[in-house]
Structure 1
Amino acid sequence: MDDCRQQTLLFTFGVIADIQYADIDDGFNYTRTRRRYYRSGLQLLRNARKSWSESRVKPAFILQLGDIIDGFNKPKAASESALNTVLRELSSCPAEVYHVWGNHEFYNFSRSALLRSKLNSTLHTDRSMSTAPAGSGVYAYSFSPFPGFTFVVLDAYDVSLLGREKDSEQYVDAMNLIKQYNKNEDLNCPPAFNNLMQRFTMFNGGFSKDQLDWLDSLLSSADEKQEKVTIVSHLPIHPECTDNICLAWNFEELLAVIRSHTSVVCYMAGHAHDGGYCQDEDTGVHHLTVDGVIETPPDSNAFATVSVYRDRMELKGYGSITDRVFLFPSRQNDTYATAETWPSLRLLRSSGAVSRLEAERAKFHSLHCSLSAAAGIQHNNGDSQS
């Protein structure tokens, strides 16, 4: 009987990240090692929408993990039109779309504008939600698509130089923090350290104490109810599933909150276009960084459909995204599935993008900074690392 329950599909959902659409010609990242396909992202989104629409089991919802349009739209006064183009495509999806905010949202719009926009999923849903404290300006919320399962969306740019007024407490705190580690005139140029300090750049951000306290309270309730929680944000928080330069500023604090609870089973992010995966050794929580559409060739794809069961999530990737099985950790009994106890995880664990990213890290700093200095590049137009 238990085996039958474990094999029963409960619901599915779709995932897509870093579309970064703009009606401009293709370009490259700073190191000129990876092409960026600004226009074709719309077709790749159509491919994802078509797959979800034609699926035998329709998804319960879609997660859009941030950077929906590219910052290059802003200087062309095309932010609104580009956003409307992508939203029209998303409106044809067979399920509600839940939006995450990334750095490119803030290259195009102010925080106050985003809070009023169609990218604020809390304003455009019939589903019951728990949200961050009113008046905080924090874009964080949770919802339950199925009994016993909760999804939490966090605001990775709550403490940030992006989207905050320069006289705001959050902006001042962010500037004081980043200046401790990044001495460059251009704060989008990473610190000259080949370590975790590279995350202190302007295109990253962090989570305020108030937001972490809200999450801590929410997870305490989920622990008591023995719910399974998936946390979603734009920035990765585990050093083993992304390059240092793409981590949230205070990733350790969020990891500490997660590790103090038993309910979290997965953390999903975008931002690092190569993607990545690891399983936290302390908790068994799965950390997934979803490949970005923006650097996916037009003849490929970059989206996924996740099938949820009682004991696991099965991710079916399309194009560049790898198929994965996420067995839910059973931390109530101090045991969880690992590469050693579940053989199929061994291969998946070793297939992340970290090794590829590490190979580029050393040359990124010198080339990124020299290009910025030589060309006088201004990074608020969105031509950033992620």
Structure 2
Amino acid sequence: MTDHPSQTPLFTFGVIADIQYADIDDGYNYTRSHRRYYRNSLQLLSKAQRSWSESAVKPHFILQLGDIIDGFNKRDGASEKALDSVLRELSRCPVEVHHVWGNHEFYNFSRSQLLRSQLNSTPRTGSSLAGPPAPADFYAYHFSPFPGFTFVVLDAYDVSLLGREVSSEQYSNAMDRIKQYNSNEDLNCPPGVVGLETRFTMFNGGFSKDQLDWLDSVLSLADEKRERVTIVSHLPIHPNSTTPMCLAWNFDELLSIIHSHNSVVCYMAGHDHDGGYCKDEDTGVHHLTLEGVIETPPDSNAFGTVSVYKDRMVLKGNGRIRNRVFLFA
């Protein structure tokens, strides 16, 4: 790997996904194929923040890609306490954190609660890029940490059964969508098929037309200004970067938006705890799915630091996360 040791990066940032902290004993995922280290995930986060804090070149910001605490906290009435523990640990690294919302955020809190919480990064960051703010119906925003570079945070549960009132039109529309493919009584159980349709479960979601239209306008402006854009959300959108069961419902529509612009260089997501990566050969866009902290053994870790240069981003992985170089097309 070439990481240009003689060059100073334009800026750096940290990235971490699926911490899913809960003060409970270890358990397993729903298929009992992967061990989950609920309590130890906080210790791995602590090691990550110490690494970022003690680095010779400190990150300018952190991307937290969703599922910051586990849904078991809701069962135990510990949602606020667990969130406070994780945010306290993150605050030890004195840089801003951009929070993505995943399914476990909605297991613990309502959408209105999340909008009022510290997991709403929008008020603290504002938008240093001239362009349209996102409508209030979904949680999305964009920011520019350095001239020529833009990051866009997307709401992968804008269209979802999670976080929407049962009586709402959004909930009804999401139910109609999932029922086209999933006839199980338990909608968290994937459809009895193989392939891409397994994504139609209750723990996934998608992007509304309004959100896609907003993204299209943000990317159009970035195209004009020749910006390099990185999009982040909880759900992966490229079939070759994840297992099909973890894809966003309408991944193809978001891919189509990206294909129509030349400014996007990278898409980062979590959700699939095994991680994944592919480069879209049609567009040159890098699709990175970050390994999850929750299924990382205590003697390892799962976080990265990305150094950004004029022509590439260089990911230095820790533990389960591989080093990678993302050349800009």
TM-score using structure 2 length: 0.96
SS at match of 1:245: helix
C-alpha deviations, 1:14-63, integer Å up to 9, x for none? 00000000000000012211100000000100111000001111101000
| One-letter identity of the residue aligned with 1:171 | Y
> Over alpha carbons, which structure has the higher Rg?
1
1:44 aligns with 2:5: no
SS at match of 1:173: helix
* Contact 2:134/2:141 (<8 A) preserved: no
* Contact 1:292/1:302 (<8 A) preserved: yes
Partner of 1:302: 302
* Contact 1:16/1:303 (<8 A) preserved: yes
* Contact 1:63/1:97 (<8 A) preserved: yes
RMSD, matched Cα: 1.4
| 1:329-348 equivalent positions in 2, closer than 5 A | 329=329
Partner of 2:171: 171
* Contact 2:127/2:141 (<8 A) preserved: no
CA shift for structure 1 position 95: 1.2
* Contact 1:132/1:139 (<8 A) preserved: no
Partner of 2:57: 57
| 1:270-309 equivalent positions in 2, closer than 5 A | 270-309=270-309
| 1:110-259 equivalent positions in 2, closer than 5 A | 110-125=110-125, 128=128, 132-136=133-137, 138-259=138-259
SS at match of 2:88: helix
CA shift for structure 1 position 128: 3.4
* Contact 1:52/1:94 (<8 A) preserved: no
| One-letter identity of the residue aligned with 2:77 | A
| One-letter identity of the residue aligned with 1:96 | E
Partner of 2:32: 32
Structure 2: unaligned runs, 5 residues or longer? none
SS at match of 1:124: helix
Distance in structure 2 (CA, Å) of the matches to 1:187 and 1:48: 35
Structure number with higher helix proportion:
1
Partner of 1:350: none
* Contact 2:229/2:263 (<8 A) preserved: yes
Distance in structure 1 (CA, Å) of the matches to 2:160 and 2:183: 17
Partner of 1:267: 267
Distance in structure 1 (CA, Å) of the matches to 2:116 and 2:291: 28
Partner of 1:378: none
* Contact 2:150/2:228 (<8 A) preserved: yes
Distance in structure 1 (CA, Å) of the matches to 2:275 and 2:290: 5
CA shift for structure 1 position 8: 4.2
CA shift for structure 1 position 135: 3.3
Distance in structure 1 (CA, Å) of the matches to 2:225 and 2:126: 23
For the structure 1 residues 221 and 291, does the alpha-carbon distance in structure 2 shift closer, same or farther, using more than 3 Å as the test?
same
Aligned residue pairs total 324
1:72 aligns with 2:69: no
C-alpha deviations, 1:132-178, integer Å up to 9, x for none? 54432x00000000000000000000000001001212111100000
* Contact 2:242/2:272 (<8 A) preserved: yes
Distance in structure 2 (CA, Å) of the matches to 1:28 and 1:169: 35
C-alpha deviations, 1:203-260, integer Å up to 9, x for none? 0000000000000000000001000000000000000010000000000000000000
* Contact 2:198/2:244 (<8 A) preserved: yes
| One-letter identity of the residue aligned with 2:230 | T
Distance in structure 2 (CA, Å) of the matches to 1:10 and 1:186: 48
Partner of 2:324: 324
* Contact 1:152/1:231 (<8 A) preserved: yes
Distance in structure 1 (CA, Å) of the matches to 2:220 and 2:303: 32
For the structure 1 residues 126 and 323, does the alpha-carbon distance in structure 2 shift closer, same or farther, using more than 3 Å as the test?
same
Distance in structure 1 (CA, Å) of the matches to 2:127 and 2:141: 11
C-alpha deviations, 1:86-125, integer Å up to 9, x for none? 0000111131100000000000000010001000001233
CA shift for structure 1 position 281: 1.3
Distance in structure 2 (CA, Å) of the matches to 1:219 and 1:134: 16
* Contact 2:132/2:218 (<8 A) preserved: no
SS at match of 2:82: helix
